[in-house]
Amino acid sequence: MKQVQTALVLSLLFLGGNAPPAINPLVALSFNRYYDVEEMGEALAALEAAYPNLLSLGTMGQSREGRELWVMTVNNPETGDASTKPAMYIDANTHGNEIQGGEVALFTINYLVTKFGQDPWVTDLLNRFSFYIAPTVNPDSRHRFFHEANNPHSPRQNQRPHDNDGDGSVDEDGPEDLNGDGEITMMRRIDPLGSMVLGEDPRTMRGRRPGEEGGWKTWWTEGIDNDGDGRINEDGPGGVDLNRQFPWEWSPDHRQHGAGPYMLSEPETRSTANFVRNHPNIAAVQSYHNAGDMILRPPGAESTSSMGMPRSDLRVMDGIAERSKAFLPDYEYLEVFGGLYPVHGGFFDWTYGALGIISFTNELYAFNPDYDDDGVSSQEERMRWNDEVAHGACFSDWEEFEHPDLGWIEIGGWRAFCTRAPLPDELPEMAMRNTLFTLLHASFMPQVALGKTTATRLERGLWQVEVEILNLGEMPTASGQARRVGIAKEERLTVLGGELVASGERELDSRGGGTFVTNPHETPIEGEAQVGNLGPMARRWIVLLVRASRGDALVIVLDSEKGGSATQEIQLPRR
């Protein structure tokens, strides 16, 4: 099955079986490795220098510790400025330990620029759309994941010191790498009253059953009692969960741990929110998280879920997810609240709920080796995978250690890599498949166009101009959610070279009596006619009454917040 899936991906890349042209990248990036923050910045700068016609590296702001929040704009300026086109925003590494999204985002940038001019599909995407890509929006914690001892789950949040135990000091009793192996693993000690026992493989542990002997007490992180209060690791590095920070169905910290003191309290989330708001042409959002092999869609909060997503939006999201099965066949498509767990103040809940942008999160990678195909990945199966596939690199075997507070204990367990991030050799395929999903999502974005345009003289100096307006995309120019919350902006028609007097819409007479004008629009304001929104793959006829003289050249301009713009010139007859 794996060979069939790989062949399918290759056939998609080779455009129906035609041999692809040779790709000679100008930057020698390797995607079977991970990049720390500094290396990520160097890679982005090198790409911009090599492809200055397509790339522009900027920053959304700075992190709490002063690191840049990079954003790469990918666009072909020969077909228009990035801000004038429908755009997709892509980000990753919201959680510091969820690192592989950064590599997928970097891969996406590299894929777009190296395929441009070679692959007709990618070339068409970059001619019509622009992309804003932020590979790491939590650089402080990404830096710590690479350069400090961690376990698979740390550091998740950003770096904001906090007094967890209420003793007046911040972050004074966190985990330590006691045995000096560069990892934060577990501690365990034999304890007749302990809640855990050894598994079939003595390196593993499971919950103790009633009446079962051989108990062990465990600590999930190794460390000591730094502040002498009798507790271990109760006041580790503070931080805020950046995916619980956004102003949509936000819930305070005492109800949802990690939410922070108030919405957008963190420089990372404020910068992100400001960037998205300042780019109203963003018509699609994609975030990369881990783990679980999932394609997630909004909403994450119960109250939003109970309202029901507009069916028009659900059709679009379902359509994208259905077509993605060709290259993400093992990914499960889920609503966050109904299929996973409640999330309040999530980023893509905000981009969809408050801004009406069609948004997805892909949960990258699933550590679920299942050798007996029973649907359960047991601890023993995971250990077998560690031994046979990772060659022991992902698990630190238990070793004795004399603890200053606990006496003789054992230290060991899963290392920071592997259980939440794939082995480096698995990265390229993951990046390729998820990039294809993201670009499929982008290909659905709305794009307005002008079709046939005619002009008929009504009386001296007054013309009836009929304009065919179209949306070439499979997304509407305004989502159902945007209309529901009242933020949808109508498309606008402007006539240059003449005075727009009034506008309406042409309808066909079903009885064969020709056409007539209906739904007259409000009197144009400052020469603009607002003409509503366009659905997916939609076509409408707009009638404009224009004051102009014989022989004048009129320029018709159609503008859409999410769908870009289109221009057409029409020459009025001289007689």
Question: What's the confidence (pLDDT) of residue 167?
Answer: 86
Residue type, 515: T
Positive or negative, the Cα torsion across 77, 78, 79, 80? positive
Distance CA 323, CA 316 (A): 11
Q: Which tokens in the block code for residue 554?
A: 């009129």
pTM: 0.93
Q: Please, which residues have CB within 8 angstroms of residue 467's CB and are 6 or more apart in sequence? A: 450, 453, 493, 541, 542, 543, 544, 556, 558, 568
Centroid of chain to Cα 231: 39
Q: Which tokens in the block code for residue 15?
A: 């455009």
Q: Are 459 and 467 in contact (CB under 8 A)?
A: no
Sheet containing strand 282-289, strands side by side: 55-62, 68-74, 130-134, 87-92, 282-289, 358-363, 294-297, 332-335
C-alpha Rg value of the chain to the nearest Å: 28
Question: What's the confidence (pLDDT) of residue 1?
Answer: 36
Distance CA 323, CA 436 (A): 11
Torsion of CA 78, 83, 87, 90, to 10 degrees: 110
| Measured CA distances, 326 to 4, 122, 170, 323 (Å) | 10, 18, 49, 6
Distance CA 62, CA 402 (A): 43
Q: What is the pLDDT of residues 66-110, one digit of tens each?
A: 999 999 999 999 999 999 999 999 999 999 999 999 999 999 999
Partners of 495 in the beta sheet? Answer: 556
Distance CA 546, CA 551 (A): 13
Question: What's the confidence (pLDDT) of residue 2?
Answer: 41
Distance CA 365, CA 377 (A): 14
Through-space distance between the first and last CA atoms of the chain, rounded to whole angstroms: 69
Long-range pairs of 514-521 with CB within 8 A, sequence gap ≥ 24: 517/543
Question: What's the confidence (pLDDT) of residue 368?
Answer: 93
Q: What is the pLDDT of residues 376-427, one digit of tens each?
A: 999 999 999 999 999 999 999 999 999 999 999 999 999 998 899 999 999 9
The single residue listed with the structure tokens 């359960």 is 376
The proportion of the chain whose per-residue pLDDT surpasses 70, expressed as a percent, equals 93
| Measured CA distances, 522 to 72, 267, 516 (Å) | 41, 43, 18
| Measured CA distances, 171 to 152, 157, 236 (Å) | 19, 14, 5
Read off the DSSP letter of residue 193: T
Question: What's the confidence (pLDDT) of residue 163?
Answer: 83
What single string gives the DSSP state of each residue in 23-79? ---SS---SSS---HHHHHHHHHHHHHH-TTTEEEEEEEE-TTS-EEEEEEE--GGG
454, containing H or E segment: strand 448-459
Regions of the chain short of the pLDDT cut 70 = 1-22, 508-525
Question: What's the confidence (pLDDT) of residue 205?
Answer: 94
Distance CA 553, CA 498 (A): 8
Read off the DSSP letter of residue 235: B
Closest by CA position to 536, among listed 307, 297, 317, 281: 317
Determine the 3-state secondary structure of 275 from DSSP.
helix
Distance CA 448, CA 128 (A): 11
What single string gives the DSSP state of each residue in 349-402? HHHHHTT--EEEEEE-------TT-SS---HHHHHHHHHHTSTTTTEEEEEEEE
Hey, what domains does the chain have and what are their CATH numbers? 2-144+241-367+422-443 (3.40.630.10), 161-177+217-238 (no CATH), 379-419 (no CATH), 448-571 (2.60.40.10)
Determine the 3-state secondary structure of 514 from DSSP.
coil
Q: Which tokens in the block code for residue 440?
A: 């499929």
| Residue ranges of E strands in 81-123 | 87-92
